[in-house]
Amino acid sequence: MEDKELEAIRKKKLEEMKENAKTTPPPEVIVYSTPTCPHCVSAKGYLEGKGVQFIDYDVSKDKERAREMVQKSGQGAVPVLQINGRIIVGFDRQLIDDALMRKKPLKREDALSNLVFDPFS
């Protein structure tokens, strides 16, 4: 391929990415943390640095959220991040980035509504 063709492909791909960014809803992010946990501070700082909005629950003060965190993750350690329904225990940049890039999974009702039953197929 020539340089002009490659440049045209790059421009087209960039425009598609920009268009998708406009229509893609922001990720749903919840952070279960404590104020004295250095990994919690790092995880929240990392999300803020990426411009990701999130809900932060202080599980040292909110026992109901602490129970919710343990139920979701099976862990009592913090931080626990829930990104688009996916659970990440600890501060792991690669897992966070991967979860942020994935689409939110369909709810069961939405997935079932997409099924079509054709008795003649």
The more confidently predicted of residues 46 and 113 is 46
Task: Give the angle subtended at the CA of 30 by the CAs of 27 and 34, to the nearest 5°.
Answer: 150
pLDDT tens track for 3-16: 788 888 888 877 87
pLDDT-derived band at 64, boundaries 50, 70, 90:
very high
Helix, strand or coil, per DSSP, at residue 44 = helix
CA 119 from chain centre, in angstroms, equals 38
CB atoms inside a 10 Å sphere around CB 79 = 22
Domains of the chain by start residue, with CATH: 25-103 (3.40.30.10)
pLDDT for 29 equals: 95
For the chain, what is the mean pLDDT? Answer: 85
CB 79 within 8 A of CB 40: yes
Beta-strand ranges (E) seen in 1-121 are 29-33, 55-58, 80-83, 86-89
pTM given for the model: 0.67
Mean pLDDT confidence for 30-48 = 97
Beta bridge pairs of residue 57: 32
